[in-house]
Amino acid sequence: MARILVVEDNALNIKLFCDLLRAHGHEAEPVTDSREALDAARRFAPDLVITDIQLPHVSGIELIQMLRADESLQAVPIMAVTAYAAQGDDERIRAAGASAYVSKPISVARFAETVEQLLEGGAPAEVQNESGGPATGTA
């Protein structure tokens, strides 16, 4: 069981994400107001943070940067969830410090699989490949 902080302003999405995580045996802590997310993360001490990117007030990108700048939270894996991934978004999200992202509407299988990979300490393969990991020799 892992402690997972979920930051998402949409009520239906946050319920879906938390229900899914709980169905997998995890403890999910919802935060709908991004202005409260950093304090909530410090209090909750999560094993994983899942954050929406399109958030009012503090954006998902800003939140990721704040988590990465916080001494007690900088090593916590972050999974970003985004409603659109325009060209360049992908790099922007990763450059901010996210470990992985999934696009909305989410595939339940991919969501759960990415959560488990991040909790096991491995980033999903495509993230490792683009973050300067060892070359595989494939074209």
The residues binding Mn ion (CB under 5 A) are 9, 52, 54
What is the C-alpha separation between 26 and 66, in angstroms, rounded?
24
CB of 10 to Mn ion, least distance (A): 5
81 to 16, 32, 72: CA distances (angstroms): 13, 14, 23
| Alpha carbon distance 37, 31 (integer Å) | 6
Based on CB atoms, which residue is closest to Mn ion, 3 or 104?
104
- The single residue listed with the structure tokens 């954006």 is 59
Residue nearest to Mn ion (CB): 54
CA distance 65 to 75: 12
Instruction: Give the helix/strand (H/E) hosting 3.
Output: strand 3-7
Smaller CB separation from Mn ion, 75 or 86: 86
Which residue's CB is nearer to Mn ion, number 12 or number 135? 12
Question: What is the smallest separation between the CB atom of 135 and Mn ion, expressed in angstroms?
Answer: 37
Smallest distance, Å, CB 84 to Mn ion? 11
Q: Which C-beta is closer to Mn ion: that of 89 or that of 116?
A: 89
Least distance in angstroms from the C-beta of 27 to Mn ion? 23
